Amino acid sequence: MASVLVINSGSSSFKYQLIDADSEQRLASGLVERIGETTGHATHDTSDGHWERSLGIPDHTAGFGVMIDAFAEHGPSLEEHPPVAVGHRVVHGGARFFEPTLITPLVLINIEDLSELAPLHNPANVEGIRAAQAAFPDLPHVAVFDTAFHQTMPADAYTYGLEASLAERLRIRRYGFHGTSHEFVSRAAADFVGRPLAELKQIVLHLGNGASVCAVDGGRSVDTSMGFTPLEGLVMGTRTGDIDPAVLLYLQRKTRIGVDDLDDLLNKKSGILGLSGHRDMRDLTRAAASGDETSRLALGVYVRRVKRYVGAYLAELGGADLIVFTAGIGENSSVVRERSLAGMQSLGIEIDSNRNAMPNDGPRIISTDASVVTVLVVPTNEELEIARQTLRVAE
Ligand code: AMP
Q: Which of 77, 111, 145 is the last residue of a domain?
A: 145
pLDDT score at 361: 82
CA of 238 to the centre of ligand 1 (A): 13
Q: Which of 119, 145, 171 is the last residue of a domain?
A: 145
Directed axis angle between helix 179-193 and helix 382-394, to 10°? Answer: 90
Q: Which of 145, 166, 183 is the last residue of a domain?
A: 145
CA of 117 to the centre of ligand 1 (A): 28
78: Cβ–Cβ under 8 A, 6 or more apart, which residues?
18, 68, 71, 72
pLDDT less than 50: residues of the chain: none
Task: Report the sign of the C-alpha dihedral through residues 260, 262, 267, 269, in that order.
Answer: positive
Tell me, yes or no, whether 111 and 225 share the same domain: no
- pTM, two decimals, is 0.96
Tell me, yes or no, whether 116 and 214 share the same domain: no
Q: How far apart are CA 278 and CA 275, in angstroms?
A: 8
Burial class (CB in 10 A: 0-12, 13-18, 19+), 28: buried
**Contact of 304 with 357, CB cutoff 8 Å:** no
Q: How far apart are CA 272 and CA 288, in angstroms?
A: 12
Q: Do the domain assignments include residue 92?
A: yes
Q: How far apart are CA 24 and CA 21, in angstroms?
A: 6
Distances (CA, A) of 118 to 33, 275, 320: 21, 26, 32
pLDDT score at 119: 86
Q: Do the domain assignments include residue 133?
A: yes
Is the beta carbon of 327 within 6 A of some atom in ligand 1? yes
Tell me, yes or no, whether 96 and 213 share the same domain: no
- The 49-55 sheet, strands edge to edge: 49-55, 40-46, 26-33, 13-20, 3-9, 83-90, 141-145, 101-102
CA of 305 to the centre of ligand 1 (A): 18
What DSSP state is assigned to residue 38?
A: S
Q: Count of residues for the chain?
A: 395
Q: Do the domain assignments include residue 215?
A: yes
pLDDT score at 69: 97
Q: How far apart are CA 160 and CA 110, in angstroms?
A: 24
pLDDT score at 278: 97
Is the beta carbon of 135 within 6 A of some atom in ligand 1? no
CA of 380 to the centre of ligand 1 (A): 13
Is the beta carbon of 271 within 6 A of some atom in ligand 1? no
Is the beta carbon of 324 within 6 A of some atom in ligand 1? no
**Contact of 378 with 185, CB cutoff 8 Å:** yes
pLDDT score at 245: 97
Q: Do the domain assignments include residue 316?
A: yes
Q: Do the domain assignments include residue 157?
A: no
Q: Which of 146, 223, 242, 264 is the catalytic position?
A: 146
- Is residue 146 part of the annotated active site? The answer reads yes
Domain count, the chain: 2
Tell me, yes or no, whether 59 and 200 share the same domain: no
CA of 168 to the centre of ligand 1 (A): 37
Tell me, yes or no, whether 208 and 281 share the same domain: yes
Tell me, yes or no, whether 258 and 138 share the same domain: no
Q: Do the domain assignments include residue 344?
A: yes
Q: Do the domain assignments include residue 265?
A: yes
Tell me, yes or no, whether 249 and 115 share the same domain: no
Write out the E strands in 119-256.
Answer: 141-145, 201-207, 211-217, 220-224
Tell me, yes or no, whether 276 and 127 share the same domain: no
**Contact of 303 with 339, CB cutoff 8 Å:** yes
Is the beta carbon of 286 within 6 A of some atom in ligand 1? no
Is the beta carbon of 282 within 6 A of some atom in ligand 1? yes
Q: How far apart are CA 124 and CA 131, in angstroms?
A: 11
Q: How far apart are CA 160 and CA 135, in angstroms?
A: 42
Pocket test for ligand 1, best of 329, 331, 381 (most atoms within 8 A of CB): 329
Domain with 228, as residue range(s), is 195-382
Q: Do the domain assignments include residue 29?
A: yes
**Could you tell me the CATH number of the domain that includes residue 344?**
3.30.420.40
